Amino acid sequence: MSTDDITGVILAGGRSTRMGQDKGVISAAGKMLFEHIADRLRPMVGEILINSNQNASIYGQHFNVVPDITQDYAGPLAGMLAGLKAINTEWALFVPCDVPSFPLDLAKQFVAHSSQHSAVYARDALRDHPTLCLLSKNIIPELESYLAQGERKVMIFLKQINALPVEFNDPQAFANLNTPADVALWEKTLGQPS
Ligand SMILES: Nc1nc2c(ncn2[C@@H]2O[C@H](COP(=O)(O)OP(=O)(O)OP(=O)(O)O)[C@@H](O)[C@H]2O)c(=O)[nH]1
């Protein structure tokens, strides 16, 4: 599998209630959060899409925007379904808009482990990070039926489809920015422009 076989999908479809405004477009360390994600993602994929349910006029200046198909904020899996249905490649690499220091070798490690699996996801020594995952389009029917049953949990779905966890060493890489305080800390520590 080459980078051209993978579309990067930035997951920015949540409500951002803890942040108080759409996380994807807040400014941090000189750029909007989704731009930090896109810059990191760009070398890993052939094309980038953004899953979002708001601010399409901002995201749309940079990338194609794909809103959720399912109703009522059904969680990140809704964004994954929308992304998988929109891509022109077999594979989608999903990264949330609020994990700006995600591993630089994310796609490389996922691809190295994907030959026997239609789904792989990240974990570190402490926890699973199921919203960072590489999924094949062929899981769409299972995902549709899971969501149609009213189920929402990403990790349970990934287990159900026998997704493979791929371990990464640095838990810091998965720092998740949910609040303005998280953003301020990230800017101070990891987010300084080099
Ligand atoms: N498409 C889509 N993505 C979602 C939804 N809810 C959360 N996400 C995404 O899932 C990832 C983790 O989101 P959370 O931080 O748990 O939820 P959030 O809505 O962004 O923020 P809070 O309202 O503060 O919980 C982010 O990339 C979100 O954009 C949803 O209903 N639809």
Please tell me the distance between residue 69's alpha carbon and the centre of ligand 1 in angstroms.
15
Query: Where does the pLDDT of residue 66 fall: very low under 50, low under 70, confident under 90, or very high at 90 and above?
Result: very high
Residue ranges for the known binding site are 11-13, 23, 51, 68, 98
How much of the chain exceeds pLDDT 90, in percent?
91
Q: What's residue 98's pLDDT?
A: 98
Residues above pLDDT 70, as percent of the chain: 97
How high is the pLDDT of residue 115? 87
The residue whose C-alpha atom lies closest to atom 8 belonging to ligand 1 is 14
| ipTM of this complex prediction, to 2 decimal places | 0.97
Q: Are 46 and 4 in contact (CB under 8 A)?
A: yes
Query: How much is the pLDDT for 190?
Result: 65
pLDDT at 91: 97
Instruction: Please tell me the distance from the alpha carbon of residue 13 to that of residue 147, in angstroms, as a whole number.
Output: 16
Can you say which residues are annotated as belonging to the binding site for GTP?
A: 11-13, 23, 51, 68, 98
Residues with CB under 6 A from ligand 1: 11-19, 23, 51, 68, 73-76, 78-79, 96-98, 131, 178
**Residue 68 — very low, low, confident or very high, per pLDDT cuts 50/70/90?**
very high
Which residue's CA lies nearest to atom 17 of ligand 1? Answer: 14
Virtual CA dihedral for 42, 113, 165, 78, nearest 10 degrees? 50
Instruction: Enumerate domains of the chain plus CATH numbers.
Output: 1-189 (3.90.550.10)
Q: What per-residue confidence (pLDDT) applies to 112?
A: 94
Check residue 70 and give its pLDDT: 83
Please report where in the chains the tokens 């070398």 appear, as a residue.
43
In DSSP terms, 32 is beta-bridged to 27
pLDDT tens digits, residue range 127-184?
Answer: 999 999 999 999 999 999 999 999 999 999 999 999 999 999 999 999 999 999 999 9
Taking the C-alpha atoms of residue 171 and residue 126, their distance in angstroms, rounded to an integer, is 7
**pLDDT at 7 (0 to 100):** 98
**Mean pLDDT computed over every residue of the chain:** 95
**pLDDT value at 45 more than 70:** yes
Q: What is the 3-state secondary structure (H, E, C) of the chain?
A: CCHHHEEEEEEECCCCCCCCCCHHHCEECCEEHHHHHHHHHHHHCCEEEEEECCCHHHHCCCCEEECCCCCCCCCHHHHHHHHHHHCCCCEEEEEECCCCCCCCCHHHHHHHHCCCCCEEEEECCCCEEEEEEEEEHHHHHHHHHHHHCCCCCHHHHHHHCCCEEEECCCHHHHCCCCCHHHHHHHHHCCCCCC
